């Protein structure tokens, strides 16, 4: 038993007998090729009026690319993850850290001497 189907089954919105002519002409395009340091080649299409970027990210390895095949940009330097302590150490010297620690310990000892509960 065949079920009743839809009359527009298999077609997409905007598709008609005329195709692209109904929607107008496409913008003139240019093909630009970018090269990365690993030797990957990436071709991208831009509108002729569009400004072509100087750099592009390689979709294969993520390195930056340029349009100069003989001189691709070098890989970017990846900064290692820094902990909060590493950032604090950049801002404070060892003597400043010792002074701050001693000040905090004095406050803690004073609270204990008053009988406060410290968690």
| Alpha-carbon span 63 to 37, nearest angstrom | 7
> Which residues, 6+ apart, have CB-to-CB distance to 26 below 8 Å?
20
What tokens were used for 9?
């089954």
21 is in an annotated binding site: no
Check whether 58 is labelled as a binding-site residue: yes
User: Is 61 annotated for ligand binding?
Assistant: yes
Answer for the pair 36, 63: CB distance below 8 angstroms, yes or no. yes
- The annotation status of 40 as a binding-site residue, yes or no, is yes
- Which positions make up the binding site? 36, 40, 58, 61
Indicate the annotated binding residues for Zn(2+): 36, 40, 58, 61
């Amino acid at each position: 038993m065949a079920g009743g189907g839809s009359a527009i089954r298999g077609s997409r919105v905007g598709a008609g007998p005329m195709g692209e002519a109904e929607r107008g002409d496409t913008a003139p395009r240019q093909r630009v090729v970018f090269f990365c340091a690993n030797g990957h080649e990436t071709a991208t299409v831009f509108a002729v009026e569009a400004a072509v970027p100087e750099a592009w990210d390689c979709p294969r390895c993520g390195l930056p690319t340029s349009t100069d095949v003989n001189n691709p940009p070098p890989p970017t330097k990846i900064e290692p993850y820094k902990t909060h302590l590493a950032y604090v150490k950049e801002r404070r010297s060892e003597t400043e850290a010792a002074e701050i620690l001693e000040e905090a310990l004095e406050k803690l000892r004073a609270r204990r001497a008053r009988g406060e509960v410290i968690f």
